[in-house]
Structure 1
Amino acid sequence: MDCSHMQLISLSDVDISDVTALDLSNNQLSEWRSGSLSDLSSLRHLNLGRNDLQKLDQHAFQGLKELETLDLSYNNLTALTRRTFANLPHLQRLLLDHNQVTTLGTDVFESLTHLRHLDLGHNHLQVLYNNTFSSLAHLNWLGLGSNRLQRLEAGAMTGLDRLINLDLSDNKLQLTSSVYPARVFASLGQLQLLHLEYNDDDPNGEYPDNVFSDLVSLTLLSIDTFNEVHFGRDFAALRNIHTLDLSKNCQIYRVLNTSFEGFKNSTLSFINFQYCSLQIIETCAFCELPALDRLWFMYSHFQTPNHILESMYGLQHQTMTEIKLHSIGDYLPFFHVIDSHSARFLRNICVKDVTMSSCNIQRIAGNALTVKNTPFFRCLEHADLSMNAILGDQSTLGKMIMSDGPLQSLALQDQQTFTITGAQCLVSQDFRCKEYFRYNSYDENTYTLGFQTPVNITFLNLSSLFLHLHPLPVNWTFPSAKHLKMLDLSYLGFGNCRMTFYGLENLETLSLNGNYCYNMTEKVFDFLDSLKKLSLSNLGFNPQFLKSHGWRLFQNVDQLQFLDLSRNELPFTDPDMLRVQRHLKELDFSDNRLQKVPVNLGNHGDLRMLDLSHNSLSTLTSSERSALDSLAGRQAFSLKLEGNPLECTCFNLDMVQWLWHTPVSLDGEGRQANYTCTTETGEVTSTERVMAQWMSHWRRCVGVQMFGIALSALLLQLLAIVVTFIVVRSWTQLCYAWKAIRRYRLPRRHHFHRDAYVVYSEAERDVILACVTLREAVEERYGVRLLLRDREELPGSVRAENVVQHIDDSWKVVLLVTRDFSQDEWACGFTVQQAQRSITDTMPDRVIIVFLEEPRVLPAMPSLQLLLRMVPERNILHVHRDTPPQHQVWKTLADLITIEH
């Protein structure tokens, strides 16, 4: 029964029936009287945490004989009496953390013989007295961290024979014999986990004798350190230890050859030096640790990676799982070089996972890590060399990328090779600064790159590895990458994205973020059949590209589940470009300039997250809101809208109300997210404030709408009166005009018998030009139906009537203007005048004029001069008489003839 967060001050405020679990946490209970729940004899779990309890009466839990879990954490209890837990014989879990208990009597827990878990952390205990826990024979877990403990009495741990986990961290227990009496842990033969960190701040101390030798089952020890640590004979009995965590409150300055001699016969496999201020590690520091499997050096800012690598002398020819160097030497004012000498010991270790990240490494010599047939090269499966500054010899990186070893994952990203200006350009959305990346001086048909990778590689991260990766190949082939699952090519300074990937049929994750892909090819993803996650953020797409070619770009990646198109300044997209991606779960369109939802949500029933933050959305349409509600009805669905210029105008109140009541999770805050919006007057407010003043906004908006409706009705009445008056007075004229409109239709090309009537002079060379050259170039090549006088007219026919009939039967009129044409009375006189009369408002482009000689050398033609004023410039062509039939100009003439506006 859940009665939490009800602001209860006493149990009389709630009706409690017969239950087995009762949650009274997060209330205001200040006292708990004896027998308060004595009627609940079947109660097994009681939570009184986060109240204001200051004391508990004797027999406070009388009658709860079946209780198994009792939570009293986060209260103000200062003392516990002998009778407090006297009536709880089956209690197994007791939480007393975050109280103010200062002392524990030896009889407080005497009746809790079945207790297995006891948490006393975050109290005010100062001393652990003898026999405090002597009756807790079944206790497995004891938490005493974050108290004020200053010492342990010799018998403080008596009776804890089955204890497995002991937390004494964050106290004031100095590592001295006066604080830890000899054999204080004698009864803890079953203990496996011991936390003693954050106790001793003395940098010059040493571990007390005869304290840890009884912990024969210990597997993990987390302990404070000194400037020089020495785990001596007292730790020799810890033969089952696996983990030595020195990372908490680490003060180690020097690691000596004898520092770990106490563990030489143990199974110690993991040492954690994280946050240790190491300065010196002697060469044989790890010689006595044959079982060492994992070694971490992290955030040792003033040590150098070379010194650490040389300390691995004692690990040669061992088989290890992991060696990790992260943020080593990054505070030193110089770069580091890993050469063959400093890595000579590492090459002889068979290690699967090696990390040397953020170590300020400027160069790795070509033969430092990639010498074939060495244990290192034969065993390495996971390598992380990211976040360094490798500028010089990059042959080692190339050898690792293209090695034939067992490498499965390789991280080389973020080598900090960019200038500040270049890095800012790649990360920013100012795509103008990326123009200098463009590079196109290669043969697009032949430039291909075969990218050889290790056969077993599954993870390859090359992000920000090179300054500029161009010229780019059109075809990228990965002949040996059959197992590659993740490929990151972000921020490589691509000058274009005119490439297609081959050989990555099993790739699941691809990132191209931060490159310059204004001219991306739509075939780039055609052979990535298994792609599930695609990141295309900050690429500078051509604004029209996704609208025109988006569907083609994504048509073959139908298994996609995550797509990131953020930070591309997109004003619009094709809503159906992702119609085949039926399995999409997350879509990120943030930081663009979108004014509406960019995809058809009806195509994506599995969508769980849509990020539209920081766009130009002022509202969501009713259909968009319905689609979003439908998605939220199928599964948990979240929408991000932060950073959009939303409106709280009268026409948008329904969307504001939707934001308040929709089942969609908004910006990760659940329902009723609050957004900034503007009113009709430009006032900046919030959706929460509008909802708080909903009635006043609604009345104001309804008043404006009602006034508009009333005014519209009045105007409609006046308009009806005027129209009625006009119809009555002009009924005959209106009927006649309606019939004329019904008969009227615009002329179209198919209404005419021929496409073009060609007008030319009777000169022999003009006849050959029209009947041979023009016929072959336009009629035979492009199927234009020409009307040629010498082919259609019979000898002796009436010429004037023929000209008029030919113009009426043709869609266009083509004049071939030559010197002979200007001297032909019929061609330049009567025919030109008829062509001029054929131009009407419905056919303004009917005449096409083709000059076969320069107009400036032709004699004046007044009739043609008048016609030129009526013909648009696009219908005037200049063609040389000897132009061959296959020339593009005849295609232009054919298009002018057949075009319909």
Structure 2
Amino acid sequence: MDCKWTHANSDAIVNCSGRGLRSIPRLNDSVTNLDLSHNETAHVSRTSLPKHLKFLDLSWNKFKALTGSPFVSLTKLRFLDISHCQLRDVDKGMFGELYNLQYLNISYNRELGFASLPNITFNLKQTKIVSLDFNGINCATGIGTIIKRHHLRNIQMTSLKKLSLASNRLELFETGVISNLPKTLQIFSTAENKLTTGAYLLEFPSMPEMKVYNMSFQHPPPKYPDSIVNQCKEKMDENFKRPDLTMTSSKFEFNWSFLLPPNLEIYYAQSSRLYVKDPTLSANTPNLRHIYLQNNFLISLKRPIHATNNRIDRIETLDLSNNFCSHMFQLNDGQYIKNLNLSHNDLGRDFEEDTDGIICRTFISLQVLDISFNEIISLPKLFLKNSNNLKYINASGNRLSSWIVDIETMSNLTLLDLSENKLATLSTDTRSQFEKAFQRSNLTINLSGNGLSCTCENQDFMYWIQKNQNHFPNIENYFCSDKDIDIEFDFKTLETSIDKLRKQCASYLFLYIGSAVSLAVIFSVFIGFILVKNRWKIRYIIYKTKQRFGQKAHFKQISTNVNYDHDAFISYSGLQLRFVVDEVLPRLEDDRNLKVWIKDRDYEVGIPKVDNIMNGIQESKRTICLISKKYLESKWRDYELNMAKVEGIKDRGNLNYVILILLPEVYEDIHMYPNKIRDLINKDCHIEYPNEPCGNDDFWDRLAEKIED
């Protein structure tokens, strides 16, 4: 036997599904869960099943009839599924022997018919039944069926919580069927039938515990070609006589109290072919939370629903989509509605005329609003004035050319769908509101399917789109409607397209002015940089030019003789004058017969200081700079040093013309030499003055050699 065994806690679970079994395999009594679905089994006997079963699935087999007492020994069985088994006959009290039975599914045995229900339900009051599924126990095609009182009389005294009668061509309940259903019933489904109105509607308030009622998808057409070739014939009641159904149309108007179970929470009536126009309704359902009425014919809802004793004021979900509705009532008690779907209707005119926000004025808890595909041309600014808790607004598929609805107070709004409209641009005020929402709640906006205006007149909007493109999902699919601009605008390459638009729209005058100013600034910066970088060379060239052309008498003519008037030009700060007089002059002039130029002795009276400096530099074989801390801080010494370097480069051919004497306070305390002397130090154009007297003679000998070299 090819079955799968698993164990969970104290349960032994055996899965024999889809094995092609023609008979039930022998299993020991330890098995508690058995799945025999999707096999070819046609018979079940009393001895073929383990006695301690709790779960048994026999669906999708070929049982034509259940006779005898095949389940009598299964006293612990809780779940039994015999759906899709081609059953036609079930012996009376077959399931009443299963005292612990809670869930019974006998659905889609099309030939059972409602006539089999008395046998199936007999003695179920002795069980613990809570759920019955009788879906599809009548043929898919044929005239409408009716449930009579005796069909479900046996379940009246049970503790049933769920009853499903879907897909049975059910057209009518006999009077007394609904009122005699178990009072414990919480979930009731009559979906996919062809219900008509009748007196049974007055009995719904007799179900005090019902929370969910599903009557959706009424009048579903049978599948083709099954509806033609199907030979199904369900079992009929003996002496059956077709009742006189005078109310066969689903087109009706409610002009009376809408009777529903008092504790109903969810009401499904979608696709039920309800035809309603301006009804006068009243209801008493204090616990009703969710209503689904989509895909019907609620043509007009001008009149509001009146709550009996103010007991219908806590609805949270209301779906009225796809109802061909052209007029909307003013819901006076909508303060608890969180999800409202009005899409695929024709409410545009009502919304456009609601300048004071009357329709939605009570929707203070609204979080999701869908008004898509309603032929809306414009929405008033105050349309949602009280709906401050909105998170999602869907206004797609309309004819909106602008958006002026005030969203200033919607602090939770995260998605606004304006796709498939006629929006070419957004006003400055609207963009300002959206920018605040971007920061406040990270709002995203869908503008796809709108022909945006990509012209110069609308360039501010296009720049705004580019700036906030992260808030526009699928922006690469946006497109332009304008053909009067000479550029190809593609949102897939938004940055490039915006640049093209900006260039196309720029005024030539402003372009020229801007270009001229930009070039002037760039040129000025460049010239300034060149002047600063080469300021010493420029000064030197000016001096040489003046000297060459003899513009002033005090300029001496440039000599081509290699013999100089002085051996060295001494550059020093004023604080080093004593050092120059006591050390430099005696050591170089007295001891070594060298002639030096110092400013305090050799300045020519009546000649400008700058010219004296240049004359001294040019008339000297070498320039010697006494580098101290004060020297490095002096602007005039900076001038002398740089003029000497330029002289060395331009006229002498190298920097060896300049000799730096680094005093101890410089080379001992300064870890990083300034740029003005670093190049000379790197070229070894310096001598360090010793801080010990014993090294003085050697220092002056080395200096004299450098001067005379």
Instruction: State TM-score, norm by structure 1.
Output: 0.46
Task: Give per-residue Cα distances to partners, 1:457-511, cap 9 Å, x unaligned.
Answer: 22334456575435632xx443x42222234455353544133533212232334
Aligned to 2:199: 395
Structure 2 distance, partners of 1:564, 1:254, is 50
The Cα shift of 1:228 comes to 1.8
Does 1:323 pair with 2:132? yes
The Cα shift of 1:410 comes to 2.3
Q: Tell me: CA distance 1:451–1:623, structure 2 relative to 1, closer, same or farther (3 Å).
A: same
Aligned to 2:381: 575
Does 1:245 pair with 2:18? no
Query: Does the CA contact (< 8 Å) of 2:342 and 2:372 recur in 1?
Result: yes
Aligned to 1:701: 501
Query: Does the CA contact (< 8 Å) of 1:318 and 1:350 recur in 2?
Result: no
Structure 2 distance, partners of 1:224, 1:448, is 50
* 3-state DSSP of counterpart to 1:387: coil
**Root mean square deviation, CA, Å:** 4.3
Task: Give per-residue Cα distances to partners, 1:141-160, cap 9 Å, x unaligned.
Answer: xxxxxxxxx958xxx98xxx
The Cα shift of 1:607 comes to 2.2
Aligned to 2:615: none
Does 1:565 pair with 2:392? no
Structure 1 distance, partners of 2:364, 2:468, is 34
Select the residue among 205, 212, 215 that pairs with 1:412: 215
Aligned to 2:97: 288
* 3-state DSSP of counterpart to 1:551: coil
Query: Does the CA contact (< 8 Å) of 2:334 and 2:362 recur in 1?
Result: yes
Structure 2 distance, partners of 1:236, 1:461, is 41
Task: Give per-residue Cα distances to partners, 1:389-420, cap 9 Å, x unaligned.
Answer: 113x62223322x33633333233343399xx
Select the residue among 34, 39, 44 that pairs with 1:230: 44
Aligned to 1:460: 267
Aligned to 1:677: 479
Aligned to 2:336: 530
Does 1:201 pair with 2:5? no
Q: Tell me: CA distance 1:214–1:544, structure 2 relative to 1, closer, same or farther (3 Å).
A: closer
Taking only the aligned residue pairs, the percentage that are identical comes to 18
Query: Does the CA contact (< 8 Å) of 2:94 and 2:119 recur in 1?
Result: no
Q: Which amino acid aligns with 1:244?
A: L
Q: Tell me: CA distance 1:321–1:635, structure 2 relative to 1, closer, same or farther (3 Å).
A: farther
Q: Tell me: CA distance 1:710–1:319, structure 2 relative to 1, closer, same or farther (3 Å).
A: same
Aligned to 2:519: none
Q: Tell me: CA distance 1:578–1:349, structure 2 relative to 1, closer, same or farther (3 Å).
A: same
Does 1:469 pair with 2:286? no
Instruction: State TM-score, norm by structure 2.
Output: 0.57
Aligned to 2:165: 356
Higher relative contact order (CA 8 A, sep 6+): 2
Q: Which amino acid aligns with 2:316?
A: E
Question: As a proportion of its length, which structure holds more helix?
Answer: 2
Q: Which amino acid aligns with 1:587?
A: I
Structure 2 distance, partners of 1:630, 1:301, is 61
Select the residue among 29, 34, 40 that pairs with 1:213: 29
Query: Does the CA contact (< 8 Å) of 2:476 and 2:491 recur in 1?
Result: no
Q: Tell me: CA distance 1:364–1:450, structure 2 relative to 1, closer, same or farther (3 Å).
A: closer
Query: Does the CA contact (< 8 Å) of 2:185 and 2:207 recur in 1?
Result: no
Q: Which amino acid aligns with 2:29?
A: S
Task: Give per-residue Cα distances to partners, 1:333-355, cap 9 Å, x unaligned.
Answer: 44322223433334454311112
Structure 1 distance, partners of 2:111, 2:445, is 46
Aligned to 1:691: 492
Task: Give per-residue Cα distances to partners, 1:85-137, cap 9 Å, x unaligned.
Answer: xxxxxxxxxxxxxxxxxxxxxxxxxxxxxxxxxxxxxxxxxxxxxxxxxxxxx
The Cα shift of 1:206 comes to 0.9
Q: Which amino acid aligns with 1:575?
A: K
Query: Does the CA contact (< 8 Å) of 1:229 and 1:259 recur in 2?
Result: no
The Cα shift of 1:555 comes to 1.8
Q: Tell me: CA distance 1:604–1:207, structure 2 relative to 1, closer, same or farther (3 Å).
A: same
Task: Give per-residue Cα distances to partners, 1:536-566, cap 9 Å, x unaligned.
Answer: 3344235264443451222222122222222
Task: Give per-residue Cα distances to partners, 1:416-470, cap 9 Å, x unaligned.
Answer: 399xxxxxxxxxxxxxxxxxx999xxxxxxx985445433222334456575435
Q: Which amino acid aligns with 1:296?
A: N
Q: How does 1:322-721 map to 2 (within 5 A)?
A: 322-329=131-138, 331-371=140-180, 376-391=181-196, 394-400=198-204, 402-403=205-206, 405-416=208-219, 449-463=256-270, 467-470=274-277, 472-473=279-280, 476-478=281-283, 480-489=284-293, 491-502=296-307, 503=310, 504-515=312-323, 518-521=326-329, 524-541=330-347, 543=349, 545-549=351-355, 551-597=357-403, 599-619=405-425, 631=437, 639-646=445-452, 651=458, 658=465, 662-664=469-471, 666=473, 672=474, 674-675=476-477, 677-678=479-480, 680-681=482-483, 690-692=491-493, 694-695=495-496, 697-707=497-507
Query: Does the CA contact (< 8 Å) of 1:274 and 1:300 recur in 2?
Result: yes
- The gaps in structure 2 that reach 5 residues or longer are 222-250, 515-709
* 3-state DSSP of counterpart to 1:602: coil
Structure 1 distance, partners of 2:421, 2:20, is 53
- Structure number with bigger Rg: 2
Task: Give per-residue Cα distances to partners, 1:207-236, cap 9 Å, x unaligned.
Answer: 222x34343xx4564644334242654633
Q: Tell me: CA distance 1:572–1:251, structure 2 relative to 1, closer, same or farther (3 Å).
A: same
Task: Give per-residue Cα distances to partners, 1:574-626, cap 9 Å, x unaligned.
Answer: 13321221212232223221223463333212124433333223455676567
Q: Which amino acid aligns with 1:245?
A: D
The Cα shift of 1:572 comes to 0.7
Does 1:312 pair with 2:312? no
Q: Tell me: CA distance 1:390–1:501, structure 2 relative to 1, closer, same or farther (3 Å).
A: same
* 3-state DSSP of counterpart to 1:543: helix
